[in-house]
Homo-oligomer: A and B are copies of this chain.
Amino acid sequence: MSEQSVAIDELRHLLDGHWEDLRQRARTDLEPEWALGEPGEPVEAQRERVHRQLLELAKRDYGRIGFPRAYGGTLDYGASCVMFEMQAYGDLSLVVKTGVQFGLFGGAVARLGTERHHQAYLEDIMTARLLGSFAMTEEGHGSNVQQLETTATYDPDTQELVITSPTPSSKKTYIGNAARDGRMAVVFAQLVTGAENHGVHAILVPVRDAGGNALPGVTIGDNGVKAGLPGVDNGTFSFDEVHVPKDNLLNAFGDIGDDGIYVSHIEGKNARFFTMLGTLVRGRVCVGGGSGSAAKKALAIAVRYGAQRRQFEAPGSDDEIVVLDYLAHQRKLLPRLAKSYALSLAQNAVTERLQELHGTPRPEGQEEDKVAQRELESRVAGLKAVTTWHALDTIQACREACGGAGYMAENQLAQMRADVDVFTTFEGDNTVLLQLVAKGLLTEYQSMWGDLDVTEMVGMVTRQVAEGLVERTTGRAGLQRLVDAAKGRDDESAMDDRGWQLSMFEQRADHTLETVGLRLRKATKDNAFELFNGAQDHVLFAARTHIDRCVMEAACEAEDGMADGPAKDLFGQVLSLYALSSIEDDRAWFLEHGRLTTTRSRSVTAAVNDLCRALRPRALDLVDAFAIPDALITAPIAQL
């Protein structure tokens, strides 16, 4: 292999991470006929095609990945996220349909259910003999799901649960597998025994008979045409006193005894519900990973086109210039390419963490590590928000960079763009998710400070932030040493000094969090909403910069693990481009807070331009290292 090929392969290895073997297998396995769609087909044909492909995948045992081995599952839990990523190089309708069946529906049965459900259903779910829905969202409540209105009321006479949609706004909506294919649904509802509401629980509710007709009391609707994901049959459910045996309650976290008494090992209905939701965190990992793949595929298409397409002559020449040689074109594509690298490595890190916490049985008697779980949830939520927005923005930039050709369905960007759009909304609205991240960070703050008054706190802030939070988020001591070495000489550091870059990410995140904490501590009972609301932009910025920092740290750790050589050097430039673009985007903040001088701020822009120029000759290599199966890139403009 040439030195160039070696470097590409080393970068692929870096990006592939822990599940490299699985990814390599998927690259040859994912045949176009059961991974790609046909844009422009009518909705019904798309749904039929995706349904057929889903069965095909199940036939090849893809549905078994990540389920317990005791019930016929294969591979590990994290592997199911990686497969979602790999499949996302193909048709996203199929990926989402697969995610609904095996991830959301199957995952809920596996994680929220117990042996009786596993015995009864897992084999049929993994083989797609039983297709199901995950019925959480209601017309009135998408984000604030604690306030779902559907009820599941225990009837002691029949030992059944009675599922009811009491209001028009309690109608379940946007539910995948609902409009056409689902036979059963995991329905989230307020569980009521006697006069007591125990909060939201999940109940298995059959919705269609074997012939596909809605069961008595179940009204099924069709959400019809959407912006994208035409192959997913999103629909609605309403329930009019639908009776199911009480054993259909997915009872891992709360149960109704034969005596009709509700029991749970978790106190408090909110805590209980959020614990249940926490076990379903994988869905967000998948959505982040899948959108990351879509961004990579868009970049591969746009970079390959940009490296061939010529427009406008150079002065004094009759030859037209390759468009990727224009700085403006490089600026559209290369910083986004760099960010795709960084996000990919952060995605690997959370997937591994998910595997550690959820994919490995806890030794007998060992308690769940609640702090670790909360951190994982927060990281996943934030990374999902940042990655899905990145994907949307990147696919759009790629579309525009490909001009009119980018608008044609055959060049694949159009459908991806339309499909990924809703990734910013489902599995948690991005803005709400970032608030969740901020809330988590601020809660740690509060518990750290207890009852100190504000004056005392101001004095402590710098120390605490520097010593406490920082060390926890920086996984490795090695990175911290880099940062420490850079401190105090911000202005003299070279632009590619990794320690300086890291320290900028750190300062941005810490100072923002610190000041938002100070603002919010002034809250009293009477002004809480106004105060919080007035700081909402600040709160969201704190969350985003925290995630940016986590991403940067994950990428630096990956770099740390590389052997010295051309691949590491190349990746180093990519990482600098990511870091400096991010600093450039927020340079107003750095200037306002005295972390950049005006001269140095302008040097950041110059350095981004320099890196674009430097990486231009490697742009094709960098998208090659994504190792997207060639058969899935059918865009005529991307053929070399």
Binding site for B on A (CB under 8 A): 39-40, 42-43, 137, 141-144, 147, 173-174, 223-228, 311-316, 320-321, 325-328, 331, 392, 396, 399-400, 403-404, 406-410, 413-415, 417-418, 421-422, 424-426, 429-431, 525, 528-529, 532-534, 536-537, 540, 587-588, 591-594, 598, 601-602, 605, 609
Please name all residues of chain B whose beta carbon is closer than 8 Å to the beta carbon of A223 when the two chains form the complex: 408
A537-B224 contact, Cβ under 8 Å, with A418-B418, A422-B407, A529-B315: no
CB nearest to A417 among chain B residues = B227
Please name all residues of chain B whose beta carbon is closer than 8 Å to the beta carbon of A594 when the two chains form the complex: 598
A316-B425 contact, Cβ under 8 Å, with A225-B39, A409-B225, A588-B591: no
Please name all residues of chain B whose beta carbon is closer than 8 Å to the beta carbon of A399 when the two chains form the complex: 227, 421
Query: Chain A interface mostly helix, strand, loop or mixed?
Result: helix
Please name all residues of chain B whose beta carbon is closer than 8 Å to the beta carbon of A537 when the two chains form the complex: 327-328, 331, 605, 609
CA distance A414 to B312 in the complex (A): 35
CA distance A594 to B321 in the complex (A): 37
Complex contact B417–A404 (CB within 8 A): no
CA distance A423 to B410 in the complex (A): 19
Q: A325-B533, A327-B537, A399-B421 are in contact. List 15 more A-B contacts (CB 8 A).
A: A144-B313, A147-B313, A223-B408, A225-B410, A227-B407, A227-B414, A227-B417, A315-B525, A327-B534, A328-B431, A328-B537, A328-B540, A400-B431, A403-B425, A403-B429
Q: Which of B316, B331, B430 contacts A525 (CB 8 A)?
A: B316
Q: How far is the CB of A271 from chain B (nearest CB, A)?
A: 17
CB nearest to A415 among chain B residues = B227
CB nearest to A532 among chain B residues = B315
CA distance A28 to B20 in the complex (A): 63
Q: How far is the CB of A48 from chain B (nearest CB, A)?
A: 15
Q: How far is the CB of A504 from chain B (nearest CB, A)?
A: 14
Please name all residues of chain B whose beta carbon is closer than 8 Å to the beta carbon of A605 when the two chains form the complex: 537
Q: Which of B144, B228, B406, B417 contacts A320 (CB 8 A)?
A: B144
Please name all residues of chain B whose beta carbon is closer than 8 Å to the beta carbon of A426 when the two chains form the complex: 404
Complex contact A407–B431 (CB within 8 A): no
CA distance A592 to B590 in the complex (A): 11
Complex contact B407–A226 (CB within 8 A): yes
Complex contact A142–B418 (CB within 8 A): no
Please name all residues of chain B whose beta carbon is closer than 8 Å to the beta carbon of A587 when the two chains form the complex: 588, 592
Complex contact A316–B534 (CB within 8 A): no
Complex contact B143–A311 (CB within 8 A): yes
Please list the 3 inter-chain residue pairs (A to B) with the smallest Cβ-Cβ separation, ordered nearest first.
Answer: A40-B225, A227-B414, A225-B409
CA distance A534 to B330 in the complex (A): 11
CA distance A143 to B225 in the complex (A): 34
Q: How far is the CB of A435 from chain B (nearest CB, A)?
A: 8
CA distance A281 to B588 in the complex (A): 37
Please name all residues of chain B whose beta carbon is closer than 8 Å to the beta carbon of A413 when the two chains form the complex: 227
Q: Pull 24 A–B residue pairs with CB atoms less than 8 Å apart, ordered by A.
A: A42-B42, A141-B311, A142-B404, A144-B312, A147-B313, A174-B407, A224-B409, A227-B399, A227-B414, A227-B417, A327-B534, A327-B536, A328-B537, A328-B540, A331-B537, A400-B424, A400-B431, A403-B429, A404-B425, A404-B426, A406-B425, A417-B421, A418-B418, A593-B598
A409-B226 contact, Cβ under 8 Å, with A403-B429, A537-B328, A602-B592: yes
Q: How far is the CB of A145 from chain B (nearest CB, A)?
A: 10
Please name all residues of chain B whose beta carbon is closer than 8 Å to the beta carbon of A406 when the two chains form the complex: 425
A320-B147 contact, Cβ under 8 Å, with A404-B174, A414-B226: yes
CB nearest to A418 among chain B residues = B418
Complex contact B601–A143 (CB within 8 A): no
Complex contact A40–B40 (CB within 8 A): no
CA distance A592 to B328 in the complex (A): 21
Q: How far is the CB of A567 from chain B (nearest CB, A)?
A: 28
Complex contact B400–A224 (CB within 8 A): no
A421-B407 contact, Cβ under 8 Å, with A316-B525, A537-B327, A540-B328: yes
CA distance A137 to B408 in the complex (A): 15
A40-B224 contact, Cβ under 8 Å, with A328-B537, A588-B587: yes
Complex contact A328–B174 (CB within 8 A): no
Q: How far is the CB of A408 from chain B (nearest CB, A)?
A: 6
CB nearest to A393 among chain B residues = B396
Q: Which of B147, B326, B407 contacts A536 (CB 8 A)?
A: B326
CA distance A326 to B228 in the complex (A): 28
Q: How far is the CB of A92 from chain B (nearest CB, A)?
A: 13
Please name all residues of chain B whose beta carbon is closer than 8 Å to the beta carbon of A409 when the two chains form the complex: 224-227
Q: How far is the CB of A171 from chain B (nearest CB, A)?
A: 13
Please name all residues of chain B whose beta carbon is closer than 8 Å to the beta carbon of A540 when the two chains form the complex: 328
Please name all residues of chain B whose beta carbon is closer than 8 Å to the beta carbon of A602 when the two chains form the complex: 592
Please name all residues of chain B whose beta carbon is closer than 8 Å to the beta carbon of A315 when the two chains form the complex: 525, 528-529, 532
The CB with the most chain B CB atoms within 10 A, among A321, A417, A592, is that of A592
CA distance A228 to B225 in the complex (A): 14
Q: How far is the CB of A279 from chain B (nearest CB, A)?
A: 23
CB nearest to A600 among chain B residues = B592
Q: How far is the CB of A500 from chain B (nearest CB, A)?
A: 19
CA distance A410 to B234 in the complex (A): 14
CB nearest to A174 among chain B residues = B404
CB nearest to A410 among chain B residues = B224
CA distance A223 to B414 in the complex (A): 14
Please name all residues of chain B whose beta carbon is closer than 8 Å to the beta carbon of A609 when the two chains form the complex: 534, 537
Please name all residues of chain B whose beta carbon is closer than 8 Å to the beta carbon of A137 when the two chains form the complex: 404
CA distance A131 to B331 in the complex (A): 41
CB nearest to A612 among chain B residues = B537
CA distance A539 to B587 in the complex (A): 20
